[in-house]
Amino acid sequence: MSVLSPLIAPRSIALIGASPDAGKLPGRPLAYLKRYGFAGQVYAVNPKYTDIDGVPCVARIADLPRDIDLALILLPAAGVPDALHQCALQGVRTAISIAGGFAEAGDAAAQQALSDVCQQHGIRLVGPNCVGVLNPGLGMTATFSSELRRRMPRPGRLALFTQSGALGNALLQSFNDLDIGLAYWVSTGNEADLGVLELLEHAIEDDGVDLIGLYVEGFKRGSELLSLARRARENNKAIMVLRAGQSQLGRAAAVSHTGKLAGAWKVWCDVARQAGLIVVDSLDDMVDLAVTFQVLGYPQSAVAPALGVLTIWRLCRGRDPRSGRRHLAGGVDPSGP
C-alpha cells in the first residue's frame, strides 16, 4: 500500500471544525460524505456539539480515536498549526488544510510552521490554501468543491492534480458536463508538505489510473520530473500538463496565487519535450484530450505503432459529370462539418 493511500482512499476521516450547516463552507464536506455514501468511519471535532447529523462529534482532537487516516482541517489560518500538531500527536496519518493566509499572502513563517510539524512527526499534509481531495469511486469528499452540490463525477481512470483549486473545480464541471470518468482529484494549493510530483508518483504506480492530468504553476524538486515521466511510460501511463506562467504577467499571478515561482517558459518547454509529456495550452484542450482518451482508449506499449488520422473530410456520394457514373469521392459535405 502506498504511503499516500490514507489520503487518496481513507478508511476513516476526521473533520476538524465541522459545522451542521451545509450552507456554510465548514459544513459542506460532511454533507457531501453523507450524500455520496462514503462507507468509512467519519468523526467531527467541534466543542459546540456532541453529534452532527448522526456523526459523533468530540470537543478536542485528543478525544478522537487514534490512527485515523485523514483529517480535514476546516479552521482559519491561525488555528491550523496547532490543529495539525494535535492531529500528529493523535496518530493521524494525513491531513488537509483549506485555509488561506500563508505563503500566498506573504506569511512564509506560518507556512513553515506547518512544514516543521510534518517533518517532525511524519504526518503528510495537502495544502494549505487548497480545495481538498475527491475520490468518486469511494464517495470520498474531503473537499468543499461547489461542483458537488450539483453532481459527483463518475468513477474513471483519470487522476487529476491541480495547484489551483478554482481551475480544478472548473475541470470537475466540464467532466460532469461531458461525463468524463475520474479516479481522484487532489487540489494541492501551497504545498507546504506534499507536492504534485509525489502525487504523480502515487498515480504512476496505481493500477486504477491510465491518464494523469496536471495543472501546475511551479514544481518543488522539478529535477525529478524526467525520471517520473520515464516511469510513467514504462507503466503505460500518459501525463498531460497545463502549465501556468507563459508570460511575465502569468508568472507574477502564480506567485500571488499559491506562492510559487514559475520558471522560464523556454526551459519548461525543453524539459517537457524531453520528458515526453503531453503539453496542453488551455483547460479546453485538457478536457478534449480527456474525452479522446476515454472514447478511443488508452495507448498500450504492446500495441504496434500505427497512424491515426483526424479530418473534417467526408466520403460523399456523387456523379461523374463526364461519364454519369455514380461514385464515392472525398470532399467537404456542403452542409458543413
Whose CA is closest to 254, among 267, 264, 239, 269? 264
Q: Is residue 141 part of a domain?
A: yes
Residue 320 domain flag: no
Residue 209 lies in a domain: yes
Q: How many domains is the chain built from?
A: 1
**What SS3 string covers the chain?**
CCCCHHHHCCCEEEEECCCCCCCCHHHHHHHHHHHCCCCCEEEEECCCCCEECCEEEECCHHHCCCCCCEEEECCCHHHHHHHHHHHHHCCCCEEEECCCCCHHHCCHHHHHHHHHHHHHHCCEEECCCCCEEEEHHHCEEEECCHHHHCCCCCEEEEEEEECCHHHHHHHHHHHHHHCCCEEEEEECCCCCCCCHHHHHHHHHCCCCCCEEEEEECCCCCHHHHHHHHHHHHHCCCEEEEEECCCCHHHHHHHHHHHCCCCCCHHHHHHHHHHHCCEEECCHHHHHHHHHHHHHHCCCCCCCCCCCCCCCCCEEEEEECCCCCCEEEEEECCCCCC
- Residue 285 lies inside a defined structural domain of this protein: yes
Would you say residue 162 has pLDDT above 80?
yes
β-partners of residue 306 are none
With a pLDDT cut of 90, the percent of the chain lying above it is 74
Burial 161-179 (b: 16+ CB within 10 A, else e): bbbbbebbbbbbbbbbeee
Q: Is the pLDDT of residue 119 over 70?
A: yes
- pLDDT tens-digit map of 11-57: 999 999 999 999 999 999 999 999 999 999 999 999 999 999 999 99
- pLDDT score at 2: 86
Residue 301 lies in a domain: no
Give pLDDT tens digits for 172-230: 999 999 999 999 999 999 999 999 999 999 999 999 999 999 999 988 877 889 999 99
pLDDT, tens only, 285-316: 999 999 999 988 876 654 556 677 776 655 45
The pLDDT of residue 337: 42
End-to-end alpha carbon distance in the chain: 49
CB 83 within 8 A of CB 161: no
Check residue 276 and give its pLDDT. Answer: 87
306 assigned to some structural domain:
no
State the cell numbers at 150: 450539483
Residue whose cell numbers read 489560518? 77
Q: Give pLDDT, residue 6.
A: 98
Mean pLDDT of the chain: 88
Give the distance between the most distant pair of CA atoms in the chain. Answer: 90
The CA distance from 186 to 72, in Å, is 13
Contact status, residue 95 vs residue 75, Cβ threshold 8 Å = no
Strands 155-162 and 182-187: parallel
65 Cβ neighbours under 8 A, 6+ residues apart: 12, 43
User: What CATH number should be reported for the domain holding residue 166?
Assistant: 3.40.50.261
Least trusted range by pLDDT, from 4-8, 166-170, 242-246: 242-246
Q: What is the pLDDT of residues 227-252, one digit of tens each?
A: 999 999 999 999 999 998 664 544 44
pLDDT of residue 324: 55
Confidence bin at 320 (pLDDT 50/70/90)? low
The pLDDT value given to residue 5: 97
Mean pLDDT of 65-89: 98
According to the model, what pLDDT value does residue 297 have? 83
pTM of the entire predicted model? 0.85
State the pLDDT confidence band at 84, using cuts at 50, 70 and 90. Answer: very high
What cell was used for 256?
A: 500571488
Segment 263-289, tens digit of pLDDT: 577 777 888 888 889 999 999 999 999
In a domain, 223, yes or no: yes
List the 140-143 sheet strands across, edge first. Answer: 140-143, 132-135, 182-187, 155-162, 211-216, 238-243, 278-280
Closest CA to 139 of 14, 32, 212: 32
334 pLDDT higher than 50:
no
Domain that holds residue 101: 5-294
Domain assignment of residue 108, yes or no? yes
- C-alpha cell recorded at residue 27: 459544513
pLDDT of residue 333: 42
